[in-house]
Structure 1
Amino acid sequence: MRTDTGHVFKLTDYKPTDFVVERIDLTFELDPKATIVVSRVILHRREGVGTDVPLVLDGDELTLDSLLIDGMEIDASLYDATPDSLTIRELPESAPFEITVTTTLSPETNTKLMGLYRTSGVYCTQCESEGFRRITYFYDRPDVLTVYTVTIIAAKDDAKHLLSNGNFLGGGNYDEGRHFAAWFDPHPKPAYLFALVGGDLGLVEDTFTTMSGREVALKIYVEHGKEPRAAYAMDALKRSMKWDEDVYGREYDLDIFQIVAVSDFNMGAMENKGLNVFNDKYVLADPETAADADYANIEAIIAHEYFHNWTGNRITCRDWFQLCLKEGLTVYRDHAFSADQRSAPVKRIAEIRLLKAHQFPEDAGPLAHPVRPETYREINNFYTATVYEKGSEVVRMIRTILGVEDFRKGMDLYFERHDGDAATIEDFLACFAEASGRDLKQFALWYSQAGTPSVSVSSEWNETKKTFKVTLEQSLAPTPGQSRKALMHIPLAYGLILPDGTEFEGQPTGGEASDGVFHLTKRKQTFSFSNVPGRPVVSINRGFSAPVNIAMEQSPEDLAHISRHESDGVARWQALNDYATRHLVAASRLARDGRNLMPAGDLADVLIATAKDDTLEPAFRAQALALPAESDIAREIGSNIDPDAIHTAREAVLAEVARAGQEVFTTLAASAPKGAYSPDAAAAGQRALAGISMSYASIAEATAERAKAAFNAADNMTVLAQALQVLAHQFPGSDETREALETFRTRYADNPLVLDKWYSIQAMAPGAETCERVEELLASPVFDHTNPNRMRSLVGAFTAGNPTGFNRADGAGYRLLARQVVEIDGRNPQLAARLLTAMRSWRSLEPGRQEQARLALLSIRDAGKLSADVSDIVERMLAA
């Protein structure tokens, strides 16, 4: 295990490598326990580097078998080989020279799932961020780009498909009983994009004709028998390729594009050049085994990894501090793709929910960091919501500030100027500044300052003068390592909705505003409007144009006015959500103090009116009916949080809304589309509305009969999972629930991905007793502790998705997580560290729970030999 050395990497310490890699030729002789890797690397000294400077290459748990320089063995006194590095002195003065390194690996015992490992009989690699150094000694950093030739040799049983990056050179019999395949990638790439797969897999094939008329072979590899479930992924891939051509002019650049789905994978997927490796969760789908959300995720993640071909592969990041340059930008691109494929407002609402549920708490807690961090101890811990989701929001703000036309010009310039480069955030922003003529220096602070800005909004209406003023003031709280913050450039889209529901179109004075956007660049600015015919209601941060907290006193009447008349669907939902949040926060505080809750009549009326408004998309109505989650309410309360009080208040409001709208919800519960299942957005929206209405109707009826009937009659996974969730969460002890859980488990016992849903539904069932149920499931002899998906489906779902069960007052939930983190850390540090982040908001809890959480964190810290991944997380949590 690579243990924590305490070393801190700093952005300011960046310097290029002393040697330049011209090419690398790799030969793999695959064997489960003893894979031989021969790496032949051609290098030369960088200009100005002296002959006395040694070559230092990265390693991780490696053993050197042999080392040759220009084909000759060298004296052992001229090099030092440790598991973590290879240092070679007195290298040839002539340029270039060649080093040949041989290592032996054991894929079968590589439980970290980094480097080369074996899963379900298939050889597979994962090299981002620092997995290549677990294969051979090399410059394992993103700014070392070179061309790769790869030869793979394997026994006949493993040689049906031998895959790597680039184009296929050829293959055949290597010797008696063994076969080989050779690949060449003509596009220089860093080591983290290297990929290799070997094994006997099923294959789905198709082709795509690019905009220049080239035919590209498309191949998706899955376990045998699962080929039909890859059809939707193939369709999503072809749509992604066409979209990137139409929207960005980006054409695919190899003869073949391949996807391999494996069952053991630490991430969702990996964008290796021309050979994407996927967690099979994001490839396999059919109506019986995948819900609507699974189809949407497959579509988005297939697109995301494909879009990386240009934003990540052709242009990569100079160092890992620039991670957001590929991830945030590509998330923005996949969000735009999904918005075009589905309902743009509903997709944007889902993005906002995700951002507020995961990134806002990250920004407000001990794990806060800028979109581009300036230091890190373990880079694996910075694959975060801040880098991905907030990084995407920053790109979105660039588009908002510049406008569609100049944004596209900036992207075109970026592709043209930096193709083949390892770029930086400064390179990226310079392209937009040059293309638009706009100074983005102040805006660049979004990349360097941690925390979620707050904007207070006030307004003043003068009936006599017919003037209206909007005053904005920004603030940014201190975060770990950043006590003082500079003023940001915050673009806030707005609308002024007049009493008759129309929108005032006049332009303000007193500050910069363009195309319906306030540009807040100072501490406090006032925007004045003249000749306003009646008192308007301000709709601010339309479309969630900036990832900020808005503090604004608006009456229930004003929020209702926005929800009825706003032309922007996202802002309309935000008004409804704000209305509900305000009520739920107040109710939670009353519940905490043991006082009676106030009626939710007005809120219930608004929600029911929205539910039965047939002019609204069903998917939008489903989003509106989904009350703010308990974690959302906790975030708004901010401190001294009592999860039980929040749960009590929310359940009471749900019950009141359900009873008031029982007739409406009963009707809508039967509105799911009939006939053959389709995963399209319209049908999925209808099922979403029917599903949440079934939940409300079941609450009102106080019986499990409706959900059990839906479960029995379900002909697709979406309805089946909806019904099982209602049963398990609302009627946990009922006979109907026990029967449904057993039926589901038996029916899908041989399908791990579907069985993961069974675990997650139970793990997220609210209530203190769920902790014991999770312990029981963990102790089952059939539970696979080594599979990341299975651990996330149970432990991850419980800790991140069950505030009452996990935050139990006696600390049992924290102790459960602590034990699992320590146990998992020994075999898979990345997984352990990601599960541990569920405790990022522990300091916001009430004192008793805070102490229980602190003790659990201390038990992890004091457990003994920890990985760098877990040590980094736990120490940051305790230090803040």
Structure 2
Amino acid sequence: MTDQPQRQYRLDYRPPAYLVDTVALDFDIQENNTQVTAQLAVARNVAGPAGPWRLDGRGMRLVRVAIDGADLAHDAYELTDTALWLDNLPSVFELTIVTELDPETNLSLEGLYRSGAILCTQCEATGFSRITYFPDRPDVMARFTTRIEADAARYPVLLSNGNCTQAGMAQPGRHYAIYEDPFAKPCYLFALVAGDLGVIRDTYTTASGREVALAVFTEHGNEPQCHHALDALKKAMAWDEATYDLEYDLDQFFIVAVGSFNMGAMENKGLNIFNTACVFAHPETATDGDFARVRDVVAHEYFHNYTGNRVTCRDWFQLSLKEGLTVYREHQFAIDHGSPGVTRIEQVRMIRDIQFPEDGGPRAHPVRPDSYIEMNNFYTITVYEKGAELIRMIAQMAGREAFTDAVKHYLHKHDGQAVTIEDFVVAMEETTGLDLAQFRHWYSHAGTPRVAISQQHENNTLTLTLSQSTPATPGQPNKPVFDIPISLAVFDTAGSQQVPPQLVRLNHARKKIVYKDVPEPAVVSALRGLSAPVKLTQDTTERDLVCLMAHDSDPVSRWDAAQSLYMTHLLACVDAIRADHALPGLGDGLSQAITRLLADWPADRALLAEMLTLPSTIQIGEAFERIDVAAIDGARRAVRQQIGSRFEEELTALATAHAPRSTYVFDQDAAGRRAVFALALGYLAETGVEGIEAWCRTVYDEADNMTDRMAALGALQYCPGATRDRLLGDFARRFANEPLVMDKWLRLQVSAPDIDAVAQARALLQDPAFDFTNPNRLRALLGGLVRGNAPAFHRADGAGYALLVDEILRIDAFNPQMAAALAGLIAPWQRYDARYGQGMRAGLSRLDGAELSDNTREIVASGLADAPN
């Protein structure tokens, strides 16, 4: 048997050779190791392949293997670094496996490991294979019983999936707890937590009158930061009942917050384990964005109870089956609990800033990938967020009520099963009546389709011509014609609606739509709400965009019109910088649009903040064949300064009107007002208006919340000097014992435009206090440098690339998931101007010459795949 990494192909799927009905796990947690005894009730699967049975396992010591109580001799099985192979097995038998683990030295953050004072598990995608030997695949579903025994003083809290059926003292100084999960689940949903934990508790009464015990566990002292998460959980439970008739199915639902976690959170049945960054939310330590993220992630993981747990994936190629649908449900929930327009704008921005570049780079892959070497590399924005956009398109075409009924049908039809994306699409067709045969291309083809809309207007007849094309992606040179829902509306130049919003399915390469009795001139609002994840080219004029920005009834379209106006000017500025020409002025149309916006504030202040925010440097870069980092950053900063100078008086009035005046509360209106204040303060700081440093200092000193404090510090990033240094120093002292807040400080340390950010990052990495084994620290510092200060990272001498590669090589030795994610930051080198791309490629080549994990090797190989020799 081979241990070499093998590429897995979706079309090679075979049913499991053996099925596991029940699993009884016994964890004996000692001071220096943990012994795990697993008893499996196994039966031959007549639909599975013949031959030896593979049980996955790595990073542990095998102590015993027994069949029906009889120990196997060493020559009766084969053990490799990644698997236990058994052969000549009976049709039905009990398998006993004893393994020994060392969670204290497990830095991979997979399997059973220590995070601070907490022992916890992370089993998705294949972390269970670090606990015991098992067929670690999602289509093997079993009912689990878990017994945990540990020192009662060191580990007074013992938790696992399901309901606690028994607890007590095991022997002097030690205690135990037994949990039974009545629902069959794949092993990736197994969870265990042991530690000395603080807790906050509550209850929730379901629609049928059952009382569910709720709790959030965390290290002692952090309990006050967990109340928002508990409140979000109750809102999510109520929303899922009201929207989908989904009632929680166990007697208890627990959340545990741990400091070291590769992901945001994990939906283990009844026992969700979270990164503290997605649980902790207190006004003094968390921003409005943090509060919203906690609310939405808590809801996301809870929603997985049905869309992911009760109905799960047949294999990991189907990951978007659970994640795309659950992200869509999270999006619905967020829209219902915040500013609907701005919430959707945030979702659109994520698609355009992260997913579109992924679709245009070397790692482009379909929502349902065709192959992989390391599954952890496919927990991507494409699988999650683009997957959610596909669900959203189906919901738009079906209508919300019909779609909701279809989801209920899907869950009822496949309850307790491990199924495929095709099963989901069929369920949608069965209930809604939609023909989704052509729509299926979205799941199997990578890339971002381009949609072009041209218009002809004569004799009050408006003719729109829609066309589509999709660029080639790695391994997929030829693209099919997609089924693309395009939301359209037509206005006159005064903003009066002439054609009400409607959904048009562009399911041909070219399509014409004719509207009669539309007075000239007409303004077409297309792709409203980003009705499909495509790039739109439309022959709109500046006048049209100004009209839509002021009058469109869809907030996303209003924002999009503003983005288009900004982008036209930004691109002209980039061209001017590259040609060493003088920058163009703002222009009459853009100035008129901003003037109108600043004179007539939308009631939704969060929308106002979004409409005054320029496109990101990533979005600007997407408009060019090759990314010129310095020119793009220079253009964006210059335009911010132009707007700040031209509208200094109006922005000052805006900031003054929205300045902090009352005690912090997290709600839509208050968060919107704080967003406007922070934005206006930032414009004024970058412009360098008189008195701005003193204003920021006053805001910082008087703030009763982290949002305003970060607004002041963020603005001061553009004002080097004593004030900025003093406040950053005070911030570090004040929050030295708050790791999540210190992550914000780390980002600030490397994001200022006037510092040697690479040298700063190296110094912080070498500080004995920096925990480089903690993913949150690494994301804050290295992510803050690469994404938050692109000019510093992409400096001409290559020092930024060298720093990143150094850290990837160090991290890959113990946390391949994190190392692979960091390697992905330089993989799309061919998208960059040669003076950046060659340095990024050299970094990949250096990695390619090192001994790497399968995770990182796959990312590096994809980046170099099309590189010239």
TM bucket, shorter chain:
over 0.9
2:641 corresponding residue in structure 1: 655
2: CA distance, partners of 1:407 / 1:662? 48
Higher deviation after alignment, 571-580 or 797-806: 797-806
Q: How big is the shift at 1:405? A: 2.3
Q: 1:781, 1:105 → 2: CA distance?
A: 28
1:311 shift after superposition: 0.5
Query: In 2, are the aligned partners of 1:161 and 1:201 still within 8 Å (CA)?
Result: yes
Q: Which amino acid aligns with 2:639?
A: V
Residue pair 1:33, 1:105 contacting (<8 A) in 2 also = no
Structure 2 equivalent of residue 302 of structure 1:
298
Q: Paired residue for 2:461?
A: 467
Q: Is the 8 A contact 1:361 1:840 kept in 2?
A: no
Once the 2 structures are TM-superposed, how far is the Cα of residue 92 of structure 1 from its aligned partner? 2.7
- Partner residue in 2 for 1:72: 70
CA deviation after TM superposition for structure 1 residue 554, in Å? 1.6
> Who is 2:312 aligned against?
316
**Can you list the C-alpha shifts for 1:355-384, whole angstroms capped at 9, x where unaligned?**
111101000000100000010111000000
Shift of 1:58: 0.7
Determine the structure 2 residue equivalent to 1:390. 386
Structure 2 equivalent of residue 86 of structure 1: 84
C-alpha contact 2:761 2:781 (8 A) present in aligned 1: yes
Are the aligned partners of 1:78 and 1:90 in contact in 2 as well (CA < 8 Å)? no
Match of 1:681 among 668, 687, 690: 668
Deviations 1:432-451, CA, capped at 9 Å, x for gaps: 11112221010011111100
Is 1:590 matched up with 2:583? no
Amino acid of the residue matched to residue 13 of structure 1? D
What TM-score results when the alignment is normalised by the length of structure 2?
A: 0.97
- Counterpart among 606, 611, 619 of residue 619 in structure 1: 606
Q: Which amino acid aligns with 1:73?
A: D
Partner of 2:8: 9
Structure 1 counterpart of 2:864 = 878
Q: How does 1:335-374 map to 2 (within 5 A)?
A: 335-374=331-370
Report the equivalent of 2:214: 218
Q: Deviations over 1:237-295 (max 9, x none)?
A: 00000000001111000000000000000000000000000001111111110111000
8 Å contact from structure 1 (residues 62, 84) kept in 2: no
Distance 1:73 1:804, change over 3 A: same
Change (3 A) 1:217 1:801: same
Whole-Å Cα distance in 2 between the matches of residues 608 and 335 of structure 1?
A: 32
In 2, the alpha carbon distance for the partners of 1:433 and 1:816 equals: 51
| Partner AA of 2:56 in structure 1 | D
After TM superposition, give the deviation of residue 656 of structure 1 in Å: 1.2
Matched residue type, 2:799: A
2:558 is aligned with 1:564: no
Identity %: 43
2:59 maps to which residue?
61
Contact 2:261 2:275 in 1 (8 A): yes
**Equivalent position to 1:713, from 692, 699, 702:** 702
Verify: 1:427 aligned to 2:423, yes or no. yes
Q: How many residues align?
A: 861
Structure 1 residues 757 and 301, CA gap change in structure 2 (3 angstroms): same
Aligned to 2:630: 644
SS in 2 for 1:157: coil
Cα-Cα RMSD: 1.5
Q: Does the 8 A contact of 1:672 with 1:690 survive in 2?
A: yes
1:829 paired residue among 816, 822, 847: 816
Pick closer, same or farther for the CA change 1:720–1:4 going to 2, 3 Å.
Answer: farther
Query: What letter corresponds to residue 31 of structure 1 in structure 2?
Result: Q
Residues 1:126 and 2:122 are matched in the alignment:
yes
Any residues of structure 2 matched to 1:214-613 within 5 Å, and which?
A: 214-462=210-458, 465-505=459-499, 516-602=502-588, 603-613=590-600
Output the CA distance in 2 between the equivalents of 1:448 and 1:768.
45
- Range moving further from structure 2, 836-845 or 20-29: 836-845
Letter in 1 for 2:57: G
Aligned partners of 2:686 and 2:715 also within 8 Å:
no
Distance 2:163 2:496 in 1: 58
Deviations 1:519-540 (A, max 9, x none): 1001111111112123211111
CA contact (8 A) 1:348 1:543 kept: yes
Change (3 A) 1:170 1:100: same
Give the 3-state SS of the residue equivalent to 2:824 in structure 1: helix
Q: Indicate conservation of the 8 Å contact 2:18/2:44, yes or no.
A: yes
Letter in 2 for 1:854: R
1:197 lines up with 2:196 in the alignment: no
Alpha-carbon distance in 2 for matches of 1:493, 1:867: 45
In structure 2, distance between residues paired with 1:115 and 1:342: 36
Bigger CA drift: 406-415 or 372-381?
406-415
Taking the aligned partners of 2:408 and 2:289, their CA distance within structure 1 comes to: 33
User: Aligned partner of 2:783: which letter?
Assistant: G
Q: Distance in 2 between matches of 1:155 and 1:63?
A: 22
Encode CA deviations 1:576-632: one digit per residue, 9 max, x unaligned.
111101110111111111111100143244224323423341100111111111111
Instruction: Kindly indicate whether residue 637 of structure 2 is the aligned counterpart of residue 629 of structure 1.
Output: no
**Which residue is 1:509 aligned to?**
none
> Could you say what secondary structure the match of 1:438 adopts?
coil
CA distance in 1, matches of 2:591, 2:637: 13
Instruction: Give the secondary-structure state (helix, strand or coil) at the position aligned to 1:677.
Output: coil
Q: Secondary structure at the match of 1:544?
A: coil
Q: Aligned equivalents of 1:608 and 1:101: distance in 2? A: 72
Moved more, 768-777 or 121-130: 768-777
Per-residue CA deviation, residues 561-583 of structure 1 (Å, 9 max, x unaligned), is 11111011110110011110111
Q: Is the alpha carbon distance of 1:612 and 1:841 closer, same or farther for their aligned partners in structure 2, counting shifts above 3 Å?
A: farther
Q: Deviations over 1:760-780 (max 9, x none)?
A: 122222357222221222122
Name structure 1 gaps, 5 residues minimum.
Answer: 507-514
Q: Once the 2 structures are TM-superposed, how far is the Cα of residue 813 of structure 1 from its aligned partner?
A: 1.2
Please point out which of 766, 774, 782 is paired with 1:795. 782
Indicate if the aligned counterparts of 2:60 and 2:102 stay in contact, CA closer than 8 A.
no
- Contact preservation (8 Å) 2:163, 2:179: yes
TM-superposed deviation, 1:6:
4.2
Q: Distance in 2 between matches of 1:793 and 1:33?
A: 32
TM-superposed CA distance for 1:215, in Å, is 0.3
Please tell me whether the aligned partners of residues 165 and 184 of structure 1 are also in contact (alpha carbons under 8 angstroms): yes
Instruction: Judge conservation of contact 1:110–1:116 (CA < 8 Å) in 2.
Output: yes
The alignment partner of 2:800 has SS state of helix
Deviations 1:63-90 (A, max 9, x none): 2101111111123322112231111222
SS at match of 1:505: strand
Query: Which has the larger displacement, 643-652 or 386-395?
Result: 643-652
1:510 matched residue in structure 2 = none
Shift of 1:502: 1.4
- The match for 2:17 is 18
1:805 aligns with 2:801: no
Instruction: Please give the alpha-carbon distance, in whole angstroms, between the structure 2 residues aligned to 1:546 and 1:482.
Output: 21
CA offset at residue 4 of structure 1?
A: 8.9
Specify the code of the residue in structure 2 equivalent to 1:473. Answer: S
What secondary structure, in the 3-state scheme, does the structure 2 residue paired with 1:615 have?
Answer: coil
* Structure 2 residue corresponding to 1:854, chosen from 817, 841, 854: 841
Report the CA distance between 1:875 and its aligned residue: 0.6
SS at match of 2:529: helix
Instruction: Give the whole-Å Cα distance in 2 for the aligned partners of 1:761 and 1:444.
Output: 44
Distance 2:103 2:29 in 1: 9
Q: Is 2:755 aligned against 1:756?
A: no
Once residues 750 and 449 of structure 1 are traced to their aligned partners in structure 2, the CA distance between those partners, rounded to angstroms, is 47
* Structure 1 match to 2:167: 171
The one-letter code matched in structure 1 to 2:642 is E
Indicate conservation of the 8 Å contact 1:113/1:265, yes or no.
yes
Contact kept, 8 Å, 1:854 with 1:878, in 2: the verdict is yes
Q: Which amino acid aligns with 2:492?
A: L
